[in-house]
Amino acid sequence: MKFAVDTGGTFTDLVVQGDNSDIRLYKSATTPDDPAAGVLATFELAARDIGIDRAELLDRGDMFIYGTTRSTNAIVTGTTAKTAFLTTDGHPDILVIREGGKTEPFNFTMPYPKPYVPRSLTFEVPERLAYDGAVVEPLDEMVVIAHIRTIERMGVEAVAVCFLWSMVNPIHELRVAQLLKEHLPGVPYTLSHVLNPSLREYRRASSACIDASLKPLLGAHLRDLESRLREAGFHGRVLMITSQGGVMEAMDMARTPIHSVNSGPAMAPVAGRFYAEADAASDTVVVTDTGGTTFDVSLVRKGRIPWTRETWIGQPYLGDMTGFPSVDVKSIGAGGGSIAWVDEGGLLHVGPQSAGAVPGPVCYGQGGIEPTVTDAAVVVGYIDPGYFLGGAMALDKEAVVNTIRTRVAERLDLMVEEAAAAVLNVMSENMVHAIEDITVNQGIDPRNAVLVGGGGAAGLNAAAIARRLGCRLAVIPDVAAALSAAGALMSDLRAEFSTTQFTTSDGFDFDSINGVLQILEGKCREFIEGPGADSKDQAIEFTAEARYPHQIWEIEIPVRDSRFSTEADVAELVETFHATHDDMFAISDPGSPIEIVSWRANVRCGLRDRAAAWSVVESDSAASPPLSRRCYFSDIGTVDAPVLRLESMARNVVVEGPALIESSFTTLVIEPGATAVRRATGSLIITPAS
């Protein structure tokens, strides 16, 4: 038995996979002050549903996969550990200047954004290496020791170290590590060349600082969670979701916590790709995950999940870059808990503020006073107040109607139902714009893609979004309400190893490059024999970061073999670069040589039987919905819409909209003119209205 938990801003999702690959879904409210309590609460729900006690359920498990927004939230709210930054003398502004970008390039009154580590905690160290790793100025150890003593007096909780050209020769960073162990024992530190041996110093510095600042927080959280799981009866393997779309050992995550930043949304495209292939035979997919707080959108392009090395926490240039590869996910403040409000000019907005789990939407009756998207869905009749979460939670519709009337409808001079429908329409438009950013703006026509909707609020407007984008189909998997958690069960154990080694295609250094590739392959083999020892299948993929001469930025290209033997192998790499560059930018220079800057090896160890079928088991305690319900649609007004139970729907029978399809965790709105059919896989396939 395997467990996957995704702790979101509003709900904590649990997916339980039985020994026969049967799937059960559970949700409970997230407990921000004590996330472990929310996790254990979902296991209490699962145990009660299955008919055993919690300790027995946990004892049956052999794997627990965990995803959390704790790291991201800590960075956004500024609650990370007090961190010091050691850098090369003369370069204290790496975190301030960053990569030189500005959101308003001609606004000269705009101040520099605040650095991730303040200047008061930035310490310059006399040392210098040349681009080839030669020592230009030796490390001044006495200055380092003096800085360490100052750091100790200031009560610093973590230290990040990033020296120029350390990825070529780490001798000075390694010596500083020895001095930190000797003079500041017990305080965690991060060396940039170990974590992220990138050519670009801002990305190395930023990733090192973020990683160091998270070590005390996430380390304590994971130790507490694992300890409480063990005490509650779990004896299996504890893994964590990474931002690269894989999983890793929880204690390895505690040592490199930057992998947990934005890790939760990385699982949705893993699940989305699986269901798009199974239900629509499509390799181009727009994957959405609508939770209570955020709307996450990602792509699957030609069967591959795109990665990015330019992940910003906050706005580009104003926020902080992780400098680390992660699944390319765009998130906006739009979800079931997003607050609807009218500005002074009479314009309706939805989000980015969210009611979250505490106090939550008004309909929860837990003290919320601001109208939310969930509240609007109750008013128009899409959500049944007596059947929320399968009848486990009753909603207060009267309070919602009063709130929508006073805070939205009267200010817009609309009827209550019209105002609630307007809230849902604005939310849908916000989501469409987010999708266009990663499709149309990257040369991808969404009309050629399939939309896969996930998250507890996905069904409210999946058909509307697909219609607005022109997608031919929308797929709502039967695990949609916990899409990210389900993706965790489909993911693999992954690791990435990289190094910087410059060469050119017209002067290719076979010996040094093959030596680098051999070292990277050796690290991958060690990983397979270590954490991946019990995996069902393994694969190693090599990539290179290359560019045309005089270009500033590199692009990542696949490397077919683990060694280069002949000039033909180099020519193949060059042709791959030209094709990739043309695919990304619609331009290439086939006659030009290329420069290769760095090399990477990605190792994947499969943890599941890929041939096993998935089937969601319906809870016996779930109530049945009514046969019809009064609903309001903007185009046709109020109608009696038929209500169907998702789990009891006959396969391959077409349902015409307007209609509502309900499960224990979500409501699927089939608009007038749209049709829906449930496939043998359990997924609902929606053909949007024209």
Write phi, then psi, for 150 (nearest 5 degrees).
-65, -45
Average pLDDT over every residue of 533-547: 92
Greater confidence (613 vs 533) lies with 533
Q: CATH number for the domain including 169? A: 3.40.50
In this predicted structure, what is the pLDDT of residue 528?
Answer: 95
Q: Is residue 611's pLDDT more than 60?
A: no
Answer whether residue 361 is part of any domain.
no
In this predicted structure, what is the pLDDT of residue 9?
Answer: 67
Average pLDDT over every residue of 322-333: 82
The domain boundary, picked from 162, 186, 217, lies at 217
The domain boundary, picked from 578, 606, 634, lies at 606
Q: Are residues 175 and 132 in the same domain?
A: yes
> What average pLDDT does the chain have?
88
Structural domain range at position 62: 2-75+220-260
CA distance 310 to 322: 7
Answer whether residue 191 is part of any domain.
yes
In this predicted structure, what is the pLDDT of residue 323?
Answer: 85
Give 424-492 as a DSSP string: HHHHHHHHHHHHHHHTGGGT--GGGSEEEEESTTGGGTHHHHHHHHT-S-EEE-TTGGGHHHHHHHH--
Answer whether residue 392 is part of any domain.
no
3-state SS string for 505-529 = HHHCCHHHHHHHHHHHHHHHHHHHH
Q: Is residue 353's pLDDT more than 70?
A: yes
Q: Are residues 541 and 601 in the same domain?
A: yes
At 663-679, the pLDDT tens digits run: 877 889 999 999 999 98
Average pLDDT over every residue of 103-114: 85
In this structure, of 54-63, 142-151, 266-275, the range with the lowest mean pLDDT score is 266-275
Q: How many domains is the chain partitioned into structurally? A: 3
In this predicted structure, what is the pLDDT of residue 525?
Answer: 96
In this predicted structure, what is the pLDDT of residue 144?
Answer: 97
Give pTM, 2 decimals: 0.84
In this predicted structure, what is the pLDDT of residue 262?
Answer: 81
Q: How does residue 625 score in pLDDT terms, banded at 50, 70 and 90?
A: low
Average pLDDT over every residue of 202-212: 95
In this structure, of 11-15, 86-90, 470-474, the range with the lowest mean pLDDT score is 11-15
Strand, helix or coil at 638?
A: strand
Q: Is residue 193's pLDDT more than 90?
A: yes
At 209-218, the pLDDT tens digits run: 999 999 999 9
Q: Are residues 142 and 169 in the same domain?
A: yes
Which tokens hold the place of 504? 């050119």
Answer whether residue 500 is part of any domain.
yes
In this predicted structure, what is the pLDDT of residue 437?
Answer: 84
In this predicted structure, what is the pLDDT of residue 390?
Answer: 60
Q: Are residues 24 and 10 in the same domain?
A: yes
Answer whether residue 229 is part of any domain.
yes
Q: What percent of the chain has pLDDT over 90?
A: 50
Tally Cβ neighbours within 10 Å of residue 51: 9
CA distance 242 to 291: 19
Q: Are residues 88 and 204 in the same domain?
A: yes
Answer whether residue 396 is part of any domain.
no
- Which residue, 376, 368, 318, 329, is CA-closest to 350? 376
Give the neighbor-by-neighbor strand order of the sheet with 247-249: 555-559, 537-547, 595-606, 493-504, 247-249, 237-241, 63-68, 2-7, 11-17, 22-29, 615-616
At 372-421, the pLDDT tens digits run: 988 999 999 988 887 676 666 778 888 889 999 999 999 999 999 999 99
Q: Are residues 159 and 55 in the same domain?
A: no
In this predicted structure, what is the pLDDT of residue 456?
Answer: 77
Q: How does residue 70 score in pLDDT terms, banded at 50, 70 and 90?
A: confident
In this predicted structure, what is the pLDDT of residue 387?
Answer: 67
Q: Are residues 228 and 196 in the same domain?
A: no
Q: Are residues 128 and 147 in the same domain?
A: yes
CA distance 147 to 601: 36
Q: Are residues 231 and 106 in the same domain?
A: no
Q: CATH number for the domain including 43? A: 3.30.420.40
Q: CATH number for the domain including 506? A: 3.30.1490
- Beta-carbon-side half-sphere exposure of residue 511 (alpha carbons within 13 Å): 0
Average pLDDT over every residue of 574-600: 93
Q: How does residue 290 score in pLDDT terms, banded at 50, 70 and 90?
A: confident
Answer whether residue 394 is part of any domain.
no
Q: Is residue 621's pLDDT more than 60?
A: no
The domain boundary, picked from 183, 217, 251, lies at 217
In this predicted structure, what is the pLDDT of residue 11?
Answer: 77
In this predicted structure, what is the pLDDT of residue 332?
Answer: 76
In this predicted structure, what is the pLDDT of residue 335?
Answer: 76
Q: How does residue 583 score in pLDDT terms, banded at 50, 70 and 90?
A: confident
Tally Cβ neighbours within 10 Å of residue 117: 28
Q: How does residue 239 score in pLDDT terms, banded at 50, 70 and 90?
A: very high
Q: Are residues 173 and 225 in the same domain?
A: no
In this predicted structure, what is the pLDDT of residue 87?
Answer: 97
Answer whether residue 504 is part of any domain.
yes
Average pLDDT over every residue of 321-333: 83
Which ranges constitute the DSSP H helices of 233-326?
A: 250-255, 268-280
Q: Are residues 67 and 122 in the same domain?
A: no
Q: Is residue 359's pLDDT more than 90?
A: no
Average pLDDT over every residue of 297-301: 87
Highest mean pLDDT among 142-146, 265-269, 396-400, 583-587: 142-146
Q: Are residues 106 and 123 in the same domain?
A: yes
In this structure, of 67-76, 133-142, 195-204, the range with the lowest mean pLDDT score is 67-76
Q: Is residue 624's pLDDT more than 80?
A: no
Q: What percent of the chain has pLDDT over 70?
A: 96
Q: How does residue 220 score in pLDDT terms, banded at 50, 70 and 90?
A: very high
